[in-house]
Structure 1
Amino acid sequence: MIYDFEEEYKPFAFPDYRKKYERDRNFKQVHIFVDLYPDFKERKIVGFEKITLKAIYDDLETVELDAYEMNINHVKYDSIECKFNYDGREIVIFLPKRIKKDSNIDLEIEYSAKPKRGIFFIGPDEYYPKKPLQLWSQGEDEDTRYWLVCYDFPNERSTTEIRITIPSEFYAISNGTLVNDEYKDGKRIMHWRENFPHPIYLTSIAAGKFFVYEDEIDNIKLHYIVPEEMRNFIKRSFINTPDMIRHFSRIIRFPYPYQKYSQVVVNDFIVGGMENINATTLTEFTLHDEKAHNDYMSEGLVSHELAHQWFGDMITCRDWSHAWLNEGFATYMNAVYFEHFLGYDDFLYELYQDELNYKNEFSSDYARPIVTNIYQYPGELFDRHLYEKASRVLHMLRDELGDEKFWSFINSYLNTFTGKSIDTYDFINLLKEKTGKSMEFFFDQWIFHAGHPVLDVSYTYDNSKSILKLTFEQKQGGKEIPDVFIFKLKIAFYHGEKREVKEIRVSERKQDFNFQMDMPDAISIDPENTILKEIKFERTQRMLIHQIRYGITMEKIEGMSALSKMGGSDAIECLMEQALGENFWAVRREAIINLGKMKTEGALRALIKIKESLSGNKLVDSRVRAAISEALGNFIGSEEALKALEDIIRNETKYLAISKAYESVGKIRHEKSFEILRDGLSKDSWNETIRQGVMRGLGELRDIRGKDILIENSKLGKHVLLRSSAVLALGKIGEGNKELLPWLYKYLRDPYLQVRRAAVQAIANIGLMESIRELEDAFISEQDAHIKRSIRKTINEIIEGKREREEIRNLRQEVDELRKKIMEINEKVVK
């Protein structure tokens, strides 16, 4: 796809956003010790804190610390009561004497709080009576201030100590080593100390009835900690942790830097995982049963959070604008582990998924430089640019430098900045020093500017001179997007089965490259998909088929996507060959998905043949079977597609394939779809995977008869992921209809952020002006940065899109009716 950037490009920052800069302070935060007394019934904490600061300059008279929504009882310096001002967000402490530069300031602070953020109390209630009683923290980005009096910004590092008093049957995990564990007066007191200085947002505590599985690798103590009722799932999720530690240590040539690594699974965690220093917290959703395995694997999440122990904990961004140094590295190292664990093809396919995730955000939401200081809330920056695009940038840097220089530099980076908070300029300057390469153009275009190259490629062949000419024209444009990207690019030429790879350097807006050779049977641009880009490259069907049959993995995937747009029996035959004969699961999956996108009778027959051929073959990767379920959803009104989906629902054993089948039953909008979806409500599965598919199917069906089912499954008491799916589906069946809005308004204030997020999306889909007041009220009370941004975006889109929505809805109905008639005609012809 070639974007018209003047129309499609959307900026990240709203008009009222202003630049933010690294925070100033007049002291160094050296050490924090806190005696913590949680009250699980009242959801309250009492803290007795000793904090050591060091004056940065002479005659220091006051210090300012973060303390959100606390009751501060007293502050003491050297046993002397200190006066202080407190506004509910910041405490200004007046020291009883002037402090000299580099002198320590030891303060004692007694406080209490009922935190809204930062620390969370989880327990049984009227809707979830079996939920375990737990406490856990989540500090990123700046929420530790809700339960510790501290300097809460990543440009400061300190050691920490937590002593917590909990019920005797509980276990508490925190950072560092266990100093003491004792039982006293019917309580358990656990004391943890972290001696590696770290930003305060990486400080954590979790307490509850946990089962602790202990392991060890190379004198590193490993703890896998889960709620007691989930103990049987431990090995499936964490068994490869030792292998990850060894592989990362080997490839970056830097050993794991701490004495222990704990992973604790908690209920109702608000993100997937959090890399607290040597004590990662993870969502309960990562623990899964055998039927879910392979379709879902914990290795991606576990390797990401483990990688942070070097990239994000040992070395940390000192300002949120530079957080790609944390998240980009962790995302890339996840892919690097896949290369070791699963193979090179899986590595490339993981990077391809990173690309798709980033491009989805780029095309549907906004584009921004990876490093930008124009934002309102730090949490807004934790997006697909910061994670997936930055991962791809690191991969391109690796390609520019070569493997040996890249990993040697990463080792220098780790050795140079261990225990420090840095920014992108530190990274670039060290790269110049260690490699002799300035690479300024690289970081300017990929990190400090937005977007990516959009290439229009064409070829001509001069038979008389045997010269192939390739013309590259860069089409990208828009604010903050470079007119010209500079990058090296590999091109593969095929003559029969012989493959020749040449390298060019693209450095101009329009450029010709000449190659002396016979006319190739296939030309593949960027055969391993190294460069992050959009590309339009028109080739003959014969060339694409040759590329697919003889090419490597990413060439096959790119070729199949282009081939499916051409259609025809030869294209179908080629895609069938790949679906049935290719070894790598992702190529088979992509072949099947592209057959579905063709939406022709011939493609449908091919999919059914593939389904029948693979049916019951447990050696076939379950993700390939799930792709069949997904692809069949493209054939609106088809009786044959419906029968195939019903067969999958009856005979498939894996949750994902069944869930996708129910979703596709809704998509084809057959007259029997509603009854089939209703029957699917009886099927239990891990994380309600199957019923989630039923909810999505009802949303795709857009049949108002599904309203009561969706409302029932959106209520408190149901699994939170099921509730979110039901809420999203309500937005689809209620598009343009205000009848469902009262339900959705209620969910804007739901206790679960997944449901609130879904409610905003559902209201956006309905798209009525009358929702704006409710959205504005929700914006004021909302605590989550991503949801606040989503609310603001939704308000803007409702205002801007009011006139267009009715026209689009009518057009979609006409297209659906036309597709249905075409399918009916085709079926009659076949009969």
Structure 2
Amino acid sequence: MKKLLILLCAASVTTMAGAQAIKAKNDSWKKQYRYTDTKINDLVHTKLDVRFDYDKAYMYGKAWITLQPHFYPTDSLNLDAKGMNINEVALINGSTKTPLQYTYDSLNLRIQLGKTFKGGEKYTVYIDYVSKPDEFKTKGSAAITDAKGLYFINPRGENKDKPTQIWTQGETEATSVWCPTIDRSTQKTTEEISMTVPAKYVTLSNGLLTAQKKNADGTRTDTWKMDLPHSPYLFFMGVGDYAIVKDSYKGKEVSYYVEPAYEKVARRIFGNTPEMIAFYSRITGVDFPWPKYAQITGRDYVSGAMENTTATLHQESAQQNARELVDGNDWESTVAHELFHQWFGDLATCESWSNLTLNESFANYSETLWSEYKYGADAGAEQNYTDMQDYLRLRGEEKKDLVRFYYADKEDMFDAVSYNKGGRILHMLRHYVGDSAFFKSLNVYLSNNKFKSTEAQQLRLAFEEVTGQDLNWYWNQWYYGSGHPKLDISYAYDNATSSAKVFVKQTQQGDKLFKMPVDIDVYANGKKTRHQVWIGNAADTFALPSTVKPDLINFDGDKILLAAKEDHKTLAEYIYQYTYAGNYVDRREALDYAVQHIDNDTAKQLVVKALNDPYKGIRSIALKGLAAEAPDPTLIAKLENMAQKDASRPNRALAIDMLGDFQDSKYEPLFVKGTQDSSYAVAGASLTALADINETKALSLLPALKQDAKGELKASLDQLDVLTKTDADFDTVYHKFTAATPYQKFNETFTLISYLSRIENVDHFKTALDAVTGFSNKVGAIVPKYKTGVRKELVKLRKKKASAAATGSNKQAIEEQLHYLDEKLAKL
């Protein structure tokens, strides 16, 4: 499962939650140990025959479920079956159907089998039922926003702008809304699903399509078979009007189901999949285990994506048109994430949600592995660093164990600890044992546990088998413990002993101390010497031999530690680190420090130098770091070059943004040309910049640009479109902002600021400005770059208002607005 949760949204929601009334907490869950469910019966095979009622949003199902007692004899069966109508329950013996007694409470179907079956003795239960997902009321989570299992999208075709689709979402335990089953990750079953659908639609499910039958009533019945066992939460059905684009891997079908409008770009979105399969097969030593791999998109999907076995479902955002893809395939990391689940999660499955990290940390880390392999060391390090920071900046996560047996709800496990922190723990483990041992250990884990459910100890045992080391210390600290170290690092040179001193303090709250191996690189006389040490005390001191004072002592030389660090280096040392240590995080740390000290000319020179960095991500940070700087000839020349020639279109857009801030009419031809760029980012930045120097020209371009606008171009158009509004439109414009979700407000803020330039009514101005600054102050502490952007736009607004006060007829009202704006800027 790839979380839909976006950091900015999460940050804003977290911040605002503090301002809301706090309900009384129910902490009883803290005493409820979440044990793995006892297995009384085991699923063996699940056969379904289903058809859909689009008008009622019902599914009519017949199920033949073959089971066997796990070990002890039993005469009963308990199935999860949520919100259904149960019409018939019977025992099947050849062609004989024997009715069975049962009770049903809308959640659990309890069946008396009529005889006692011994351990391993197979039996088949038949159930005729109706699934009514829209009538089943339940709740989801931050990662999976709904849990009704089966979704009818625009079933009656009433929305002409939305396709009619059906898709399912099983994780965590929602398959049982549409299929009676034992809805636990410990269960593994083969599967056969026959779907009867309107003949105009295609279907997708797990395994292979083995039969298609045209029916006299204009429907078609498709039968899909999965001959390898997998867990019920990974069952999938998809139905709709899709174009199917086919690739292959070693003779196995690799296919992409997209809405017809995206057929021509499907390979640009998903086309790296065969190479990903080959890469993951190679590094794990386990060839892709399933008979095919398909990916399908779903409208109104309740999460980011889901790794249904052989049939991954992606939300509609995966569908990017050609212009969006010019700015980069934002969905590629999700494609990688879900694919790796086919090994970690689908082949070897966490036995309980307490052990969810066995699924999600691997999928999360696969994004780093793929980026590193496909796009180079900088790209992999950037992915790893970003995921780590996304964990470190969230409040409260440090209190949670990675594997945790106490939680309020299983959905709570889908968080930055199971995903981001778990991925970084794997990254550190890879560094500690070495690449060969790391990937060999993954091979042993997968080979020993294929088609089984697992817990974290089995992963430990695989690593111990390969390395020959006792790794309980690592698992106890990182898998069964919480938090991360906060390190204060300082340096000195001792002439008397010719040694470089490194002082490390662990400053995290509480008495827990972390034991970790650390690489320390000493740069002296043009040479790097690496020393491996272990930290483990509240304060550690290391004396490293060096005949001269080092130019740089680089703690955590490969930048792999999961830790919050306060590193006391000088600007000169950071400049040396940028130049000679040189990996992505080394350069980023140096650049971040220089940006924080941008008033220092030497620091600014480093930031300007980074505009020429070979990696686009570093150039992007440098551009953003210089956004508020006064122009000088050197900087202007670099920006002009980047605005036209940078290999990264988003970086071109950033450079255009900065040139636009100069409000110099000489750039008008550049901006006009940029509005026609194939990149939405470049076109959007160009339009905004053009509006600041020639508003009339910019507004004249709106009708043509609206014909194809997404992303940053759409945001720019929205901001300009409000310039055609007046005070008469205040209620509509203001309501759009106040009704927006926290994440939507990040864009809507700047649209509302644009509108402020058109408002003459003082009360309207104050009300809208209060909304803008209130939201900015609320989330600015967590997302400072957003607050900086708001301030920048408000300063530009002030210039426009000051100009209007000098030339307009409503001088008194505008001056009152200016006074109020100045008050807000002073507090922002």
**TM-score computed with the length of structure 1 as normaliser:** 0.79
Cα contact 2:242–2:259 (8 A) shared by 1 = yes
Helix, strand or coil at the partner of 1:46: strand
Aligned to 1:343: 376
Partners in 1 of 2:693 and 2:730 — Cα distance? 13
Aligned to 1:152: 183
Aligned to 1:519: 549
What RMSD over aligned residues (CA atoms) do the two structures have, in Å? 4.2
Aligned to 2:440: 408
Aligned to 1:356: 389
Partners in 1 of 2:293 and 2:119 — Cα distance? 37
Alignment of 1:154-553 (within 5 A): 154-185=185-216, 186-293=218-325, 295-297=327-329, 298-362=331-395, 367-478=399-510, 483-495=512-524, 497-517=526-546, 518-553=548-583
Displacement of 1:202 in angstroms is 0.4
Aligned pair in 2 of structure 1 residues 87, 32: CA closer, same or farther (>3 Å)?
same
Partners in 2 of 1:696 and 1:375 — Cα distance? 44
Displacement of 1:817 in angstroms is 8.9
Aligned to 1:622: 649
1:613 aligns with 2:646: no
Helix, strand or coil at the partner of 2:436: helix
Helix, strand or coil at the partner of 1:130: coil
Aligned to 1:73: 87
Alignment of 1:32-47 (within 5 A): 32-47=46-61
Cα contact 1:696–1:729 (8 A) shared by 2 = no
Helix, strand or coil at the partner of 1:612: helix
Aligned to 1:784: none
Displacement of 1:37 in angstroms is 0.5
Displacement of 1:21 in angstroms is 2.3
Q: 1:708 aligns with which of 732, 739, 758?
A: 732
Aligned to 1:108: 126
Q: 2:713 aligns with which of 690, 693, 706?
A: 690
Aligned pair in 2 of structure 1 residues 234, 463: CA closer, same or farther (>3 Å)?
same
Displacement of 1:169 in angstroms is 1.6
Helix, strand or coil at the partner of 2:133: coil
Aligned pair in 2 of structure 1 residues 639, 611: CA closer, same or farther (>3 Å)?
closer
Partners in 2 of 1:767 and 1:52 — Cα distance? 57
Alignment of 1:8-157 (within 5 A): 15-18=27-30, 19=32, 20-78=34-92, 79-116=97-134, 117-123=148-154, 128-157=159-188
Task: State the identity as a percent.
Answer: 25
Helix, strand or coil at the partner of 2:227: strand
Helix, strand or coil at the partner of 1:515: strand
Aligned pair in 2 of structure 1 residues 676, 190: CA closer, same or farther (>3 Å)?
same
Helix, strand or coil at the partner of 1:361: coil
Aligned partner letter, 2:532: E
Deviations 1:92-114 (A, max 9, x none): 11222233332223111011122
Cα contact 1:585–1:623 (8 A) shared by 2 = no
Helix, strand or coil at the partner of 1:292: helix
Deviations 1:644-665 (A, max 9, x none): 8996686263223555788999
Aligned to 2:142: none
Displacement of 1:723 in angstroms is 8.0
Q: Which has the higher contact order (CA 8 A, sep 6+)?
A: 2
Displacement of 1:277 in angstroms is 0.6
Aligned pair in 2 of structure 1 residues 41, 125: CA closer, same or farther (>3 Å)?
closer
Aligned to 1:738: none
Cα contact 1:153–1:200 (8 A) shared by 2 = yes
Helix, strand or coil at the partner of 1:102: coil
Aligned to 1:574: 606
Partners in 2 of 1:16 and 1:384 — Cα distance? 23
Deviations 1:253-304 (A, max 9, x none): 1111112111122222222221111111122221223322253324312111
Partners in 1 of 2:541 and 2:695 — Cα distance? 54
Aligned to 1:589: 620
Cα contact 1:674–1:698 (8 A) shared by 2 = no
Partners in 1 of 2:565 and 2:799 — Cα distance? 32
Aligned partner letter, 1:15: D
Unaligned runs of 5+ in 1: 1-7, 716-721, 736-761, 769-796, 799-803, 825-831
Which segment drifts farther, 65-74 or 491-500? 491-500
Helix, strand or coil at the partner of 1:395: helix
Aligned partner letter, 1:552: G
The total of aligned residue pairs comes to 730
Aligned pair in 2 of structure 1 residues 456, 277: CA closer, same or farther (>3 Å)?
same
Cα contact 1:593–1:630 (8 A) shared by 2 = no
Displacement of 1:467 in angstroms is 1.9
Cα contact 2:752–2:772 (8 A) shared by 1 = no
Which segment drifts farther, 288-297 or 176-185? 288-297
Which segment drifts farther, 460-469 or 347-356? 460-469
Aligned partner letter, 2:38: D
Aligned partner letter, 1:594: G
Aligned partner letter, 1:304: H
Which segment drifts farther, 251-260 or 656-665? 656-665
Aligned partner letter, 1:690: L
Partners in 1 of 2:694 and 2:275 — Cα distance? 49
Partners in 2 of 1:235 and 1:326 — Cα distance? 27
Partners in 2 of 1:217 and 1:315 — Cα distance? 21
Deviations 1:39-81 (A, max 9, x none): 1222110001111111235552321111111111111113122
Helix, strand or coil at the partner of 2:322: coil
Displacement of 1:325 in angstroms is 0.8
Partners in 2 of 1:712 and 1:674 — Cα distance? 25
Aligned partner letter, 2:538: R
Which segment drifts farther, 501-510 or 119-128? 119-128
Cα contact 1:493–1:522 (8 A) shared by 2 = yes
Displacement of 1:465 in angstroms is 3.4
Cα contact 2:57–2:155 (8 A) shared by 1 = no
Displacement of 1:356 in angstroms is 1.8
Partners in 1 of 2:356 and 2:699 — Cα distance? 43
Aligned pair in 2 of structure 1 residues 376, 251: CA closer, same or farther (>3 Å)?
same
Aligned pair in 2 of structure 1 residues 706, 162: CA closer, same or farther (>3 Å)?
farther
Deviations 1:207-256 (A, max 9, x none): 11222222222122222222223211111012211111111111111111
Aligned partner letter, 1:256: F
Which segment drifts farther, 327-336 or 141-150? 327-336
Partners in 2 of 1:665 and 1:709 — Cα distance? 23
Deviations 1:108-165 (A, max 9, x none): 1011122131111112778841322211111111110110011111011111110000
Aligned partner letter, 2:505: E
**TM-score computed with the length of structure 2 as normaliser:** 0.79
1:656 aligns with 2:703: no
Partners in 2 of 1:29 and 1:391 — Cα distance? 32
Displacement of 1:711 in angstroms is 4.4
Partners in 2 of 1:815 and 1:137 — Cα distance? 45
Cα contact 1:692–1:726 (8 A) shared by 2 = no
Which segment drifts farther, 399-408 or 493-502? 493-502
Partners in 1 of 2:712 and 2:528 — Cα distance? 44
Displacement of 1:496 in angstroms is 6.2
Aligned pair in 2 of structure 1 residues 578, 733: CA closer, same or farther (>3 Å)?
closer
Aligned pair in 2 of structure 1 residues 765, 151: CA closer, same or farther (>3 Å)?
farther
